[in-house]
Amino acid sequence: MYDVLIRNGTIIDGTGGPPYAADVAVADGKIAAIGRCPCPARLVIDAAGKAVTPGFIDIHRHADAEVFREGFGTLELRQGLTTIVNGNCGLSAAPIDGPCRQAVLDYLAPITGPVKDCVPTGSLEAYLRAADHRPLHTGMLAGAGTIRAAAAGYACQALDQGQIRTIQRELERALAEGALGVSLGLGYAPECFYTTEELIAVLSVLRGTDLPVTVHMREEGDGVCEALAEMLTVARRLRVPVHISHLKAMGRRNWGGKIPRAVAMLDRARADGLDVTCDVYPYTAGSTQLIHILPPDFLTGGTRAITERLRDPARRRELAERIQSGRDFDNIAGMVGWENILCSTLGRPENRPFQGMSVADIARAQGKDPFTCACDLLVSEECAVTMIDFITDEADIARILRLPYSAVISDSTYPTAGKRHPRVYGAFPRILEKYVRQEGILTLPEAVASMTAIPADALRLRGKGRLAVGMDADINIFDPAAVREAGTYADPHRCAEGMDWVLVGGEAAIAAGVLTGARAGRSIRRQRSAASD
């Protein structure tokens, strides 16, 4: 007898191939049969008129601390997510130990929310063990920025050989404990201080392996193509898979020009045999810390040092000149304008009325110029300010979505106060609603592949991403015409709608539209192979 039998559905198997009619049988958490399945089952689901797909996979979330908060899983399952991967952009909540631990946690807080004592941060093994038996599957990347900061702090711009060896040992330990790969945040401190040669030296422990390196590149605006060239150099020199996180071209002056060049570079590299892939989120606005309007050299020393630097009138004058005219860094304010940078999390009572407003509007309300307003907010909040910044172009997003090696991601951050980005709640339904139904940019099979098999392949998630016999029974059942994103920028905190059934490891996490409270999710650990040892 099967555990679950899904009858009469339309199979969209994750490969991008055409839909077909078949039954799907589940036993012991695996797909046992696809086709005509006459055997009885403990649970029979009639999927007539519905799509049956693999569970969606988000390989780029920052839910490192959210996994341990009450209510985790609700907003993820409601959009069909059965697997997420945390630890992105070099910013993992583990492993963190030693005298710099608190400074690292302070730096992470605007992205992950506060990392409470219930989150095991000392090792990947402890983190993954504690993250087991959750509502959905969770994997982790080893955040190389966290590891560097824990080893050498934020003030150190050039590492000595002893520090490099310490970072390498911690990377090796995290990978041995189950990290799915290594993530880099070259746009963030302290990894922004690496030269290309230093970065290659640190990552040399991965040379010739099948371990993916995911990267928030050094620049994503004026210098995006140069930053991509750097990572292609890393891929060639180390012979490792490289995955470009949230590929984009920030700033109107770069729209329509940089992304076609970047895609051509990726296509040539793949034709030359490099294992390079990318992902994209389906929004023209991103979300991160407000401190990333600053040049990398202003980020030295961590949040306390940045705050003190911004108190210094002389440093402010220098900074104002660089933001007004500079192209030597990802000058977000210069590229998109203060009117397109919203302050989404402000903690102090006197600042909360401005939450959700643009820096330009806050400045007008306070009778200040926007630059002074932004600096004053950062000082007042000790840098714990998140922003939603409108930075990219819909045509560029569509071009990246169409790539056969591009995965859909949300890049969700989880501040525990203020207004989160709506992508936290609805990125995956948005693909089906906007880019399939409304605009026809993707077919339904192409969209499902970009949310299942393509991300599973990029991070070597065995057993995930396809409906096939022997694969994990992570399955969504839904009416493609009914799935929708409910949240907006003004009112983001709304779960997506339209998922009828979501199976995680063969157990119903959503049954006939109702959350069941099942906790069948497992921590996903890298499975060793000869190619990765």
CATH of the domain at 410: 3.20.20.140
Is the model's pLDDT at 533 over the cut of 60?
Answer: no
23: pLDDT confidence band, cut at 50, 70 and 90? very high
- Domain check: are 199 and 326 in the same one? no
Asked if 408 and 61 touch (Cβ cutoff 8 Å), the reply is no
Count of CA atoms in the C-beta half-sphere (13 A) of 318: 11
Q: Which distant-in-sequence residues (6+ apart) come within 8 Å of 28 by Cβ?
A: 3, 506
How confident is the model at residue 530, as a pLDDT? 39
Between CA 196 and CA 231 the distance in angstroms is: 9
- Domain check: are 111 and 46 in the same one? no
Percent of the chain with pLDDT over 70: 99
Residue 528 lies in a domain: no
- Domain check: are 12 and 38 in the same one? yes
Identify the domain boundary among 371, 388, 405: 388
Task: Spell out the SS3 assignment of 214-245.
Answer: EEECCCCCCCHHHHHHHHHHHHHHHCCCEEEC
How confident is the model at residue 273, as a pLDDT? 97
**Which residue range(s) make up the domain with 32?**
2-54+471-522
* Token pair 């290309």 in the structure block, residue: 196
Between CA 318 and CA 320 the distance in angstroms is: 6
Amino acid at 309: R
Taking only the tens place, the pLDDT of each residue in 458-502 is 999 999 999 999 999 999 999 999 999 999 999 999 999 999 999
Give the count of beta carbons closer than 10 Å to the beta carbon of residue 319: 21
- Domain check: are 336 and 484 in the same one? no
Amino acid at 492: P
Q: Looking at residue 478, which CATH number applies to its domain?
A: 2.30.40.10
Asked if 359 and 338 touch (Cβ cutoff 8 Å), the reply is yes
Asked if 48 and 9 touch (Cβ cutoff 8 Å), the reply is yes
> Coil, strand or helix: which one is 111?
helix
Q: Which distant-in-sequence residues (6+ apart) come within 8 Å of 43 by Cβ?
A: 3, 4, 5, 508
Asked if 87 and 61 touch (Cβ cutoff 8 Å), the reply is no
Residue 138 lies in a domain: yes
Number of compact structural domains in the chain:
3
- Domain check: are 114 and 176 in the same one? yes
**Angle of CA points 190, 194, 195, to nearest 5°:** 165
Is the model's pLDDT at 456 over the cut of 70?
Answer: yes
Asked if 79 and 180 touch (Cβ cutoff 8 Å), the reply is no
Residue 530 lies in a domain: no
Residue 500 lies in a domain: yes
- Domain check: are 101 and 202 in the same one? yes
Nearest to 85 by CA among 147, 128, 27: 128
How confident is the model at residue 327, as a pLDDT? 77
User: 23-50 as b/e, with b when 16 or more CB fall inside 10 Å?
Assistant: bbbbbebbbbbbeebeeebebebebeeb
Taking only the tens place, the pLDDT of each residue in 385-437 is 999 999 999 999 999 999 999 999 999 999 988 899 999 999 999 999 999 99
Residue 283 lies in a domain: yes
- Domain check: are 420 and 505 in the same one? no
How confident is the model at residue 155, as a pLDDT? 87
Q: Which helix (H) or strand (E) holds 177?
A: none
- Domain check: are 134 and 283 in the same one? yes
Between CA 482 and CA 89 the distance in angstroms is: 33
- Domain check: are 50 and 60 in the same one? no
Q: Per the structure block, which two tokens stand in for 85?
A: 């991967």
Between CA 182 and CA 330 the distance in angstroms is: 23
**Rounded CA Rg of the chain:** 22
Is the model's pLDDT at 532 over the cut of 50?
Answer: no
Identify the domain boundary among 449, 465, 481: 465
Asked if 439 and 430 touch (Cβ cutoff 8 Å), the reply is no
- Domain check: are 336 and 271 in the same one? no
Helix then strand then coil, % of the chain, to nearest 5: 35, 20, 40
- Greatest extent of the chain over all pairs of C-alpha atoms, in Å: 78
Between CA 303 and CA 327 the distance in angstroms is: 24
Q: Which helix (H) or strand (E) holds 518?
A: none
Residue 434 lies in a domain: yes
Taking only the tens place, the pLDDT of each residue in 52-79 is 999 999 999 999 999 999 999 999 999 9
Residue 205 lies in a domain: yes
Between CA 282 and CA 408 the distance in angstroms is: 8
Residue 532 lies in a domain: no
Give the count of beta carbons closer than 10 Å to the beta carbon of residue 311: 12
